[in-house]
Amino acid sequence: MIRLESLYTLIESSFDFLLVADANEKTIYVSPLLKRTCSPANCEASEMHLADILDLESLQSFRNAMEKVHDGARGVIALFAAQVNKSTPIPMKVGYIESVHGGIYLFFGVQVDALRMISDREKEERVKELSCLYTVAEWIEVSASIKEFFTKLPEYLSRGMRSPDEAVVYSVFQGEEYGQRPSEDDYISVDLTFSGEHKGEIRVGYISGTHEHLPEEQKMLNEIGRMLSVALERKELSERMLLKREEEDGLNSRLLELEAQINEREKDLEEQKQKLSTADSYLDRVNRSWDETRHRLETMFKVIPGEVMLIDLNRNVVMSNQEDIEPGDKCYRTYFNRDTPCRDCRLGKIKREKTPITITIRDGDKFMEVHTLPVYNQEEEVEGILEFYRDVTLEKTYEQQLQQADKLASLGQLVSGIGHEINNPNQFIRGNIKIIRQAITDMLPIVDTYQEDHPDLKIARLKYDFFREHIMTLVDDMAHGSERIKGIVEGLRGFARKDEGLLVDTVDVNTLLEATTRLVKNEVHKHAEIVLELGNDLAKFTGNSQKIEQIFINLIVNAAQAIPDDKKGLITVRTYMDQDNIVVIEIEDNGKGMDEKTQKQIFDPFFTTKRAKGGTGLGLAIAFRIAEEHSGNISVSSIPGAGTKFTVRIPTGEDAAVEKVSN
């Protein structure tokens, strides 16, 4: 906190006259020059009243100015001192500040006679400087914050310069910069220092280098710097106090919020109390006349399979066979974890129709069959409902699987017929390509001889040299495409062939994988590229080729579906024999991977992470069962975000033991 004596010294360094008085018009301080200017008889004693040192005209002027500045307005007075000609008053600025001793008024100004001894141009500059000092002093008092003060400081400070329109003002305060930086070698400056620390700097220069700085401008800037150091220290302290006050207000606000939360919690507790009271009242009525009946009813509730709830007309649970359901809770909140009644609530319909209802509802991934019965009172009015819940998810899933199996059976019949229709014309293509190849081979020497005499010869609008170089490649491509059609058709017909389930085929894993990749290429190529790394020394084994192929199709399609949409995936399929004479097939992708919990559940029937996309959760379960039928197993290793690898191991010896799944 700055001392008042230091403030007086600072003001006297910039102004000739200073008078300080309190709210009772008692003088606190009178500068020496003002004492000499006033009547000596009235100014020798300290702590006098304004009426003792001023005439009536000046006293009234002082009082009017004090009233204005106390209300926040600007105040200026003219002092007619006893030692000065009445026609030459002393103009004085009036300010008001709060101190630990109460409000005090400051009257300060310059000696007008000093202006008479300088030229008109110097007088004009001096008036501008004094006006600038007044303006800056007033702005620091009325500005809302230190940042706002420095933002508008260039507008006020440039007025005191000889060429205001070309002056630039740059300020730095506590590391934050304001205004336009002048050139590095042509400016005047003053440091801002208080509390023994350097807080910033003010620089004033001109846009062009044609103006020289006056000594009075540096003096004015020094005076402003001293004045600002005091005012900024006071303003910074005020902002700190304001921040502390805001923190206290925030704390009080938080306390009010906590109090409101406590009141709300008390209301909730009271509501819970009322709910419990409702349940107790209902049970008391039953207990008074039907104690034995209640005991039997509770026993029956506990032994009923599934979930049962007795619900009153307010949707409060009266009784349940589930230990985690408390009487008095709302049925929709207890069972379905909702805040509002179900859209298809059975209670309203039963109150109107008074007949039982049986419906199937979906709760997340589960399907529940709900059988609802009305409960009547002695007046044959519905006073509640009794609901039985049965989980029918498995039945729904089986139903979906039957529908899917029917579709696949129909698709198999279609594939067999379509394969026959495609294969017939493809046979013509394959046979004719051989004839075309032989014909072109026989004709080319003849055409070569002809082209020697006709160098500009073109065939199919192509120069003969280019045609001669590429014609056989085109024929080979046609032959390769025809063979590819044949392979795809055979793969489809083999996949659609009815499976007897017998393990009597001689299984060549590499051949099955090549056929499988052709079969799923159209499904997979949108997501990933398949790379085959097939071992050359794989042993054949006795099994069911169609079932083994089903494992490969399932794993490759799953790998493709694990690739994110924004990523081009890679699926690597490799085969080899291990040291125990076991055929090992690895299908590895660089997709999104799985966490440990998912890895432990993926082979469980009906577990799927793609139920929203039509997944049934049976594909991997069936693949695992097929591997077990062949005395083998399937294992998985996965890293979230990096990819997944499935490993199928099938022994080739007759006495090979079945291995357990490892995750």
pLDDT digits (tens, 9 = 90+) for 232-261: 776 677 767 777 777 777 778 878 888 888
- End-of-domain residue from the set 286, 321, 349: 286
586: confidence class by pLDDT, cuts 50, 70, 90: very high
Instruction: Say whether both 507 and 616 belong to one domain.
Output: yes
Instruction: Say whether both 131 and 113 belong to one domain.
Output: no
Per the structure, how many domains does the chain have?
Answer: 4
The CATH number of the domain holding residue 39 is: 3.30.450.20
Is residue 443 situated within a structural domain?
no
pLDDT digits (tens, 9 = 90+) for 386-441: 877 777 777 776 666 666 656 655 666 666 677 767 877 888 788 888 888 888 88
Q: Considering the chain, what is the average pLDDT of its residues?
A: 77
The CATH number of the domain holding residue 631 is: 3.30.565.10
The CATH number of the domain holding residue 206 is: 3.30.450.40
DSSP string, 627-656: HHHTT-EEEEEEETTTEEEEEEEEE-STTP
Rounded to whole angstroms, how far apart are CA atoms 384 and 386? Answer: 7
- End-of-domain residue from the set 391, 421, 445: 391
Q: Is the pLDDT of residue 40 over 60?
A: no
Instruction: Say whether both 344 and 246 belong to one domain.
Output: no
Q: At what angle are helices 215-303 and 120-142 packed, to 10 degrees? A: 10
166: confidence class by pLDDT, cuts 50, 70, 90: confident
Rounded to whole angstroms, how far apart are CA atoms 39 and 315? Answer: 95
Identity (one letter) of the amino acid at 606? Answer: F
Instruction: Say whether both 320 and 274 belong to one domain.
Output: no
Instruction: Say whether both 164 and 102 belong to one domain.
Output: no
Instruction: Say whether both 135 and 111 belong to one domain.
Output: no
* Residue 661 confidence (pLDDT): 33
Give the rounded distance of the alpha carbon of 148 from its chain centre. 34
DSSP assignment, residue 329? S
Parent domain of 520 = 502-651
Rounded to whole angstroms, how far apart are CA atoms 193 and 199? Answer: 5
DSSP assignment, residue 587? E
CB 163 within 8 A of CB 211: yes
602: confidence class by pLDDT, cuts 50, 70, 90: confident
Rounded to whole angstroms, how far apart are CA atoms 320 and 302? Answer: 8
pLDDT digits (tens, 9 = 90+) for 616-630: 566 787 888 888 888
Instruction: Say whether both 233 and 137 belong to one domain.
Output: yes
Provide the β-strand partners of residue 643.
639
- Residue whose token pair is 């007025």: 159
Instruction: Say whether both 366 and 252 belong to one domain.
Output: no
Tell me what the mean pLDDT of segment 566-592 comes to: 89
Helix (H) or strand (E) holding 92: strand 90-99
Angle at 77 between CA 71 and CA 78, to 5 degrees: 170
Rounded to whole angstroms, how far apart are CA atoms 384 and 372? Answer: 10
CB 59 within 8 A of CB 51: yes
Identify the weakest region by mean pLDDT among 113-117, 388-392, 539-543, 629-633.
113-117
Is residue 39 situated within a structural domain?
yes
The two structure tokens encoding residue 451 = 């082209």
Is residue 185 situated within a structural domain?
yes
Instruction: Say whether both 256 and 332 belong to one domain.
Output: no
Is residue 189 situated within a structural domain?
yes
The two structure tokens encoding residue 105 = 């008024």
251 three-class SS: helix
571: confidence class by pLDDT, cuts 50, 70, 90: very high
Is residue 408 situated within a structural domain?
no
505: confidence class by pLDDT, cuts 50, 70, 90: confident
- End-of-domain residue from the set 117, 148, 169: 117
Instruction: Say whether both 252 and 314 belong to one domain.
Output: no
Identity (one letter) of the amino acid at 560? Answer: A
Is residue 225 situated within a structural domain?
yes
Angle at 299 between CA 335 and CA 310, to 5 degrees: 35
Q: Is the pLDDT of residue 87 over 50?
A: no
Instruction: Say whether both 197 and 332 belong to one domain.
Output: no
Burial 334-364 (b: 16+ CB within 10 A, else e): bbeeeeeebeeebbeebeeeeeebeeeeeee
| Phi and psi torsions of 653, nearest 5° | -85, 155
* Residue 83 confidence (pLDDT): 43
Of 425, 555, 542, 549, the closest CA to residue 497 belongs to: 549
Tell me what the mean pLDDT of segment 486-491 comes to: 68
Is residue 623 situated within a structural domain?
yes
Is residue 268 situated within a structural domain?
yes
646: confidence class by pLDDT, cuts 50, 70, 90: very high
Torsion of CA 10, 15, 20, 25, to 10 degrees: -160
Identify the weakest region by mean pLDDT among 79-83, 91-95, 253-257, 607-611.
79-83
The Cβ of residue 239 has, within 10 Å, a number of other Cβ atoms equal to 14
The two structure tokens encoding residue 130 = 């004094």
* Residue 165 confidence (pLDDT): 79
| Phi and psi torsions of 639, nearest 5° | -125, 120
Instruction: Say whether both 509 and 647 belong to one domain.
Output: yes
